[in-house]
Structures are given as structure tokens and as C-alpha cells.
Amino acid sequence: MKKNIKNVELEDLQNIMVSLNQPAYRTEQIRQAIFKFKRTSFAQISNLPKNLKDYLEEQFEITSLQIKTVRKSLDGSIKFLFSLEDGNLIESVYMPWYDDTSESIERETLCISSMSGCSVGCEFCATGKLGFKRNLQVSEILEQIFLVEQHLNTKLTNIVFMGMGEPLLNYNNVVQAIEILTDPNYELFSRKKITLSTAGVANKIKQLATTNRPVKLAISLHFTTNILRNQIMPINLSSPLEDLMDAVEIYYKSTKMPITYEYILFAGLNDTDEDVKRLVKIARRVPSRVNIIPFNDISFIRQTNLSKDLKIATKEQIKNFSDKLKENGIVSITRDSFGSDIEAACGQLTLSETKMSVKIKPIN
Ligand code: SF4
């Protein structure tokens, strides 16, 4: 199988050019053709000599991801299911955000995956129930963006690492992909238009703060006590809340970018006045905002005793909780759930297309 050229690191490509007696500028010509101009075959790169194009064609491929299924929701969001070369599946979701005063789209966000499946296993997440297949390569991270732009004939404005997988547990490939996406030479995205959402890997958050162009950070917090996080988000066992909050503070001090806390409200579980108090304390530690997210029902998969206890909060409960945060001076935004008619829960489309390791209830 040919290696995808997007996975060849800069230094390695430079060495290949040296070994072929090519001038040093060839490396950047190739990278610009692929990342900036999104060429999909070496034959399309007109400023390379023919013998070099032939060599690259023999040794490398440019695209390895394939769109398998596209589902369009009535709300305008579009879910893409991609197949990887080894047959594993991943998902991305395109979300258009409309201007309040007009019908025009003001930003176009793609939520992308960093793993096939996920190794973390949060109780509320369909992807977690898939188990871990593998980490995505740099090429597979980038091609979700490139293929969606090509398919929709659009230019995305924002990227969120909030699809399948915990991005900070695929650290090297995710950071390499971010380096390319934010490289001024390729004119793709400013680092402020990219958000990395993590369930909370404290040591990697600190490491991310030291990269060349750190991006916006979102923490999938959801619970404000170690007891509940340990039970429902097992990553908390190795990164307890105290360590996570220390890492967030370091990240903010280093990047000066406000933090987003994602908070899925579960009725009767994390919606008490005590939760409000603890969340206010957390949110005040550095400049931040809280996104309250409705729970995507995952009753289509086999339930554990824990996941059976996760109940969808009503709109009124969500509003009450959000109002209490606002009364305490916390910026709180209630997020709509995109694509409820197209199997929107992260991992849901993959589950229904594979029907593999997890028993699926029929969806009416
Ligand atoms: S919520 Fe994120 S980290 Fe948790 S299982 Fe799902 S994909 Fe993995």
C-alpha cells in the first residue's frame, strides 16, 4: 500500500528531495500544492518536473479517505460517514450557523474525528460504546476537512475536534494536523478558528500550551465532582478535576484564550444548586464560558446500569440551570442539538452502518 504523502513529515520530505538531487524549494512546492491548493493527483502539480511527478506517483498517494454515506438534516447540518483504507469508519458533522437578521450563513463549522471509535468510554457517548479501533493518521484528520469542502463546494470557517475520539490521546498526529491547518503558508485557518475539545487529559493540555500555535480549548466537563466524573467519564481516574483545573489555568495563562466548558445537563444528576455553585467556582478560575448541551439519547445501544440513569433534561430545566449561572455572572450559552433526524449522536451513524460489536435497538 502506498504511503499517504500528508503523513510524510516536513523533515522527511526535505530528505527525500535531497536524495533525489532536487532543489530545497521543491519540498514547499509539494506541500503547498497539497495543503493550500488541495491537488488530488501529482499530475496536477504543474510546477514540478515530470520525473519527480512520476516518482511521487509511484511512491505516494494523496487521498486515502472515502465518503461512504452523507445524511442531510432538516436543520441544515450534514453528517458524513467516511471509510478508512482498513475498513474502519469515522464521522464528521457539517454545521451551518445562520445570521440572526438574515438567511445567510455566517459560519460553517466542521466537527471532525481524531480516532475511529474511542478508548475513553464515557457512559453517555455512543462512540465510547464502539470501543477503540485506532488513532487517525494526520492525512485522515485533514482529509475530513478537504473532502467535505470539495463535496459541498464551500470553504469551512471553523473546525472543532469534537467528533469520534479523544484528540489528546492521539496527541502527535492531532498536533501535526493543527500545525498544517494553521500554517500561514497554506492559508487554511487561523488558530482562533480551531477548537480542540477534550474530556480532560491534564498533562497533554499543558503540553498543548507549549506548541507553536495553540488553538482554542474546550473542556467536556459535564460533572463537577470527582465521584461522578470517575463513574461516568473514566478519564477522570487518571486526570482528576484538581489536575484538570490546574492544567486549564496553565493553558489560559500561556495562550490568553478563554476556555469553553461543555456541560451536558442530565435531569436529576448534575443539575442541582450545588452543581451550579461548583460550576461557577470552576468557571471563575480563568475567563471562560459554559455551553449547556442537550443530551443526545443513546437508548439505541445496550445500556449499562450507569447509562440507564442518564436522563434528558427538559428545555425548562436547561433554561433554569443556565439562568442560575448567568445570575452568578457566568457567560452561559445553550447549544441546540444539530441533526436529531439524522442519527446525530457522535458514533450513532457508525453503529447503525456496522451493527458490529454493540447490540442496536431498531430505530423507529
Ligand atoms: S465523549 Fe469523547 S472522550 Fe468520551 S467516549 Fe465519547 S468520544 Fe470518547
The answer on 328 and 285 residing in a single domain is: yes
pTM of the predicted structure, to 2 decimals: 0.93
Tell whether the model's pLDDT for residue 359 goes beyond 80. Answer: no
Q: pLDDT at position 354, please?
A: 59
CA of 197 to the centre of ligand 1 (A): 10
Q: pLDDT at position 305, please?
A: 67
Known active-site residue 118: no
Residue 362 located in a structural domain: no
Give residue-wise pLDDT tens across range 88-108. Answer: 999 999 999 888 776 788 899
The sign of the torsion formed by the CA atoms of 31, 33, 35, 41 equals negative
The answer on 225 and 79 residing in a single domain is: yes
Distance of CA 284 to the CA centre of its chain: 25
* Cα within 13 Å of Cα(137), Cβ side: 18
The answer on 198 and 274 residing in a single domain is: yes
Q: pLDDT at position 105, please?
A: 86
Give residue-wise pLDDT tens across range 27-85. Answer: 999 999 999 999 999 999 999 999 999 999 999 999 999 999 999 998 889 999 999 99
Residue 233 located in a structural domain: yes
Q: pLDDT at position 203, please?
A: 98
Average pLDDT, rounded, for the chain: 91
Tell whether the model's pLDDT for residue 350 goes beyond 90. Answer: no
Q: pLDDT at position 98, please?
A: 84
Known active-site residue 61: no
Residue 302 located in a structural domain: yes
The answer on 271 and 254 residing in a single domain is: yes
Q: What CATH number corresponds to the domain at position 249?
A: 3.20.20.70
Residue 148's region, left for phi above 0, alpha for psi from -120 to 50, else beta, is alpha
Which of 61, 91, 166, 262 is catalytic? The answer is: 91
Structural domains in the chain (count): 2
Give residue-wise pLDDT tens across range 155-176. Answer: 999 999 999 999 999 999 999 9
CA of 122 to the centre of ligand 1 (A): 5
Tell whether the model's pLDDT for residue 345 goes beyond 80. Answer: no
Tell whether the model's pLDDT for residue 320 goes beyond 70. Answer: yes
Q: pLDDT at position 363, please?
A: 31
The answer on 56 and 70 residing in a single domain is: no
Residue 247 located in a structural domain: yes
Which of 122, 123, 346, 353 is catalytic? The answer is: 346
Q: How far apart are CA 303 and CA 98, in angstroms?
A: 36
Q: How far apart are CA 169 and CA 36, in angstroms?
A: 27
Q: pLDDT at position 198, please?
A: 97
- Domain limits at 208? 66-354
For ligand 1, pick from 89, 118, 358 the residue to mutate: most ligand atoms within 8 Å of CB.
118
Rounded to an integer, the average pLDDT of 133-159 is 98
Minimum-distance ligand 1 atom for the alpha carbon of 127: 6
The answer on 287 and 162 residing in a single domain is: yes
DSSP 182: T
Residue 364 located in a structural domain: no
Tell whether the model's pLDDT for residue 357 goes beyond 60. Answer: no
> 488513532: which residue's cell?
135
Minimum-distance ligand 1 atom for the alpha carbon of 162: 2
Name all residues whose Cβ lies below 6 A of ligand 1: 118, 120-122, 125, 127-128, 164-166, 199, 346
Give residue-wise pLDDT tens across range 220-270. Answer: 999 999 999 999 999 999 999 999 999 999 999 999 999 999 999 999 999
Say which residues have a Cβ less than 8 Å from residue 228's Cβ, sequence separation at least 6: 269, 270
DSSP helix/strand/coil, 347: coil
CA of 336 to the centre of ligand 1 (A): 19
